[in-house]
C-alpha cells in the first residue's frame, strides 16, 4: 500500500491510497475456495459448483469488502501517524468507471485541515466584568417574601388591593396557556390593576401585553414566551381567575427567626438582611461569571481571525445526516454552524496554549462537592465520606455525566484564566440592572 498526500492549499488536501492486487489476491482466493465448497447454488450439488461460477457471483463483492477494510485502516493509520488535524471526516472521491479488477486500485480522499492560528486573550480587553450587589430594594423585597411564605393564607371571594390571584394566561394564536400566581403590583399601569378589583373566581380579564409590565422580560415568566418574542409583543391575553387569596404576613419576631434559623444564628431584622445579602451575592457571582465568560467568548470570536475550508465543509455537511442534503441546504446549515465551529477551534486552542485539562482527581473532587451541596439542600448536611463516595462512583460510571461535569470544570478553569489574563472593566450594579445588561439593554 502506498499513501501520499497532495496539498491543494493550506486548508485542503487530497490523500491518494494505492493498493496492489497482490495485497489481497491470496485472501480472496482462499475465500472463494471455501465458498466453492460450502455454497449451494441452483443446478449444482454442494461442493461441486465450478470455480468460474463461484468467482462470477462472489469475487467482486469479496474484493470490495476486503479492499475497503485495507483502505479504511490505511487511511486511519496515516492520519494518526502524520498527526493531521482534520475538520470533519475524510471524503472519498467517487469514480463511476472504477475498475475493481485492475492490478492497482487508487482511492482518493479529500481532507479539510484545521487552520493554524493563535489566540491572544488581550484582544478581549475592555469587556465588562459585573459585580452584582443586593441593594435595599431587593433585601426589603426578600424580607416581605419570607413574611408571606410563613404567613397565613386566607381564601377570599373577590379581588381587593393587596390580594394574590391564581389564574391562567391564554392566547390561542400564540399557544399561550400558563398558570401563574400574580399580585396587582406587578403591572406597569395602575389602570390594569384596577381591572381586577371586584372580580371573582371564574371571571376573565382581558389584558394587552404591550406595556403590561415595567420590564418586558417578565412576559417570559408569566406567559412562558421566548426572549425573542417578548420585545414588542402586542397581543391580547385572557387571564381566567382560578382562586383568590390574601396573606396575613408573618410578624418579624423571635418565632419567625426560630423557624428560619433553628440554631439561633440570626435573631434580628438587620441580621436577616445581612444573611439574605450574603446568600444572594454568593449566587450572583455565578451569574456574573457566566456573563463574563460569554462576553469574553464573543470578543474572541470577533477578534480572532482565521480561514476555514468552507467548500470542503459544505460538501461534508451534505453527507453526515441520515438523509443527504442538497448543496443549497448544506449552505444554510454551514451558515448556522460556522460560528459554533469557530469557537470550538478557539476554545481548543486556548486549552492547548494554556495547558487546561481536567485530571481525574479534580473531576472526582468536584463531583463530590456537588453531591454534598445537593444533599445539604435536602437536609443531609452530615453525609459520611462513604455515602458520598458511593454516589460519586455511580455518577462517574456514566459517560454522559462525566462529559457534563468535565465541561463544568473546564468552564470554571476558563473563567479563572480570563479573570487573570483579560483586562476587564469592573462595574458594580444591582440585580435589576444586571438583567438588563444580560439582554443588552443598558
**CA pair distance 156, 89, nearest whole angstrom:** 66
Residue 184 has what pLDDT?
93
Mean pLDDT, all residues of the chain = 92
Domains, the chain, in order of start with CATH, read 2-112 (3.30.70.1050), 152-248 (3.10.50.30), 267-438 (1.10.3120)
pLDDT at 441: 62
Residue 169, SS3 per DSSP: strand
**Quick check: 410 pLDDT over 90?**
yes
Q: For the sheet containing 104-112, what is the strand order? A: 2-9, 12-20, 104-112, 91-92
85-89, 152-156, 377-381: range with lowest mean pLDDT: 377-381
Mean pLDDT of 331-344: 94
The span from the CA of 230 to the CA of 216, in Å, is 6
pLDDT surpassing 90 at residue 53: no
What mean pLDDT comes out for the span 235-245?
96
Residues 173, 237: contact at Cβ < 8 Å?
no
Per-residue pLDDT, 382 = 77
Cell of 112: 479539510
Judged by average pLDDT, the poorest of 41-50, 280-289, 409-418 is 41-50
Cell of 267: 435573631
What b/e readout covers 312-321, taking b as 16+ CB neighbours within 10 angstroms? bbbbbbbeee
Whether the CB-CB separation of 206 and 236 falls below 8 Å is answered with yes
CA–CA distance, 270 with 280 (Å, rounded to integer) = 15
pLDDT cut 90: percent of the chain above it: 75
The answer, yes or no, to whether residue 442 has pLDDT greater than 60, is no
- Per-residue pLDDT averaged across 84-92, rounded? 94
Please give the Cα distance from 102 to 67 (Å, whole number): 12
CA distance 440 to 442: 6
CA 97 to chain centre: 45
- For position 133, what pLDDT does the model report? 96
Q: Please compute the mean of the pLDDT values over residues 245-266 and round it to a whole number.
A: 93
| Helix ranges (DSSP H) in 83-183 | 136-149
Tell me the pLDDT tens digit for each residue of 277-329.
Answer: 999 999 999 999 999 999 999 999 999 999 999 999 999 999 988 899 999 99
To the nearest whole percent, how much of the chain has pLDDT over 70? 99
Cβ atoms within 10 Å, residue 282: 10
pLDDT at 341 over 70: yes
pLDDT at 83 over 90: yes
pLDDT above 70: residue 41: yes
Q: Per the confidence metrics, is the pTM higher than 0.75?
A: no
Amino acid at each position: 500500500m502506498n499513501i501520499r498526500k497532495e496539498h491543494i492549499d493550506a486548508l485542503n488536501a487530497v490523500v491518494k491510497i494505492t493498493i496492489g492486487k497482490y495485497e489481497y489476491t491470496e485472501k480472496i482466493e482462499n475465500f472463494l475456495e471455501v465458498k466453492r465448497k460450502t455454497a449451494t447454488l441452483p443446478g449444482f450439488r454442494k461442493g461441486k459448483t465450478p470455480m468460474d461460477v463461484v468467482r462470477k457471483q462472489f469475487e467482486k463483492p469479496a474484493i470490495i469488502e476486503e479492499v475497503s477494510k485495507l483502505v479504511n485502516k490505511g487511511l486511519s493509520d496515516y492520519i494518526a501517524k502524520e498527526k493531521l488535524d482534520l475538520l470533519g471526516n475524510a471524503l472519498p472521491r467517487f469514480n463511476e468507471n472504477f475498475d475493481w479488477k485492475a492490478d492497482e486500485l487508487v482511492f482518493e480522499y479529500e481532507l479539510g485541515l484545521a487552520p493554524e492560528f493563535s489566540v491572544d486573550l488581550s484582544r478581549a480587553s475592555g469587556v465588562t466584568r459585573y459585580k452584582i450587589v443586593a441593594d435595599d430594594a431587593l433585601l426589603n423585597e426578600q424580607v416581605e417574601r419570607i413574611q408571606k411564605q410563613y404567613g397565613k393564607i386566607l381564601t377570599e371571594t373577590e379581588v381587593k388591593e393587596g390580594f394574590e390571584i391564581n389564574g391562567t394566561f391564554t392566547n390561542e394564536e400564540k399557544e399561550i396557556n400558563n398558570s401563574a400566581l400574580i399580585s396587582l403590583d406587578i403591572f406597569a399601569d395602575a389602570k390594569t390593576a384596577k381591572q381586577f378589583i371586584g372580580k371573582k373566581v371564574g371571571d376573565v380579564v382581558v389584558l394587552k401585553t404591550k406595556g403590561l409590565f415595567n420590564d418586558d422580560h417578565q412576559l417570559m415568566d408569566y406567559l412562558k414566551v421566548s426572549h425573542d418574542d417578548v420585545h414588542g409583543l402586542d397581543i391580547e391575553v385572557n387571564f381566567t381567575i382560578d382562586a383568590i387569596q390574601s396573606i396575613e404576613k408573618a410578624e418579624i419576631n423571635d418565632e419567625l427567626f426560630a423557624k428560619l434559623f433553628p440554631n439561633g444564628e440570626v435573631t434580628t431584622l438587620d441580621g436577616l438582611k445581612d444573611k439574605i445579602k450574603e446568600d444572594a451575592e454568593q449566587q450572583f457571582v455565578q451569574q456574573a461569571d457566566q456573563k463574563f465568560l460569554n462576553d469574553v467568548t464573543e470578543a474572541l470570536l470577533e477578534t480572532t481571525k482565521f480561514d476555514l475550508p468552507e467548500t470542503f465543509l459544505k460538501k461534508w455537511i451534505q453527507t453526515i445526516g441520515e438523509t443527504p442534503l442538497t448543496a443549497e441546504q448544506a449552505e444554510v446549515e454551514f451558515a448556522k454552524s460556522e460560528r459554533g465551529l469557530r469557537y470550538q477551534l478557539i476554545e481548543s486552542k486556548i486549552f492547548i496554549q494554556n495547558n487546561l485539562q481536567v485530571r481525574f482527581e479534580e473531576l472526582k473532587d468536584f463531583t463530590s462537592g456537588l453531591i454534598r451541596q445537593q444533599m445539604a439542600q435536602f437536609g443531609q448536611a452530615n453525609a459520611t465520606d462513604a455515602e458520598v463516595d458511593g454516589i460519586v462512583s455511580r455518577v462517574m460510571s456514566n459517560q454522559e455525566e462525566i462529559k457534563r461535569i468535565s465541561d463544568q470544570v473546564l468552564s470554571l478553569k476558563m473563567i479563572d484564566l480570563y479573570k487573570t489574563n483579560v483586562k476587564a472593566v469592573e462595574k458594580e450594579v444591582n440585580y435589576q440592572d444586571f438583567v438588563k445588561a444580560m439582554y443588552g439593554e443598558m
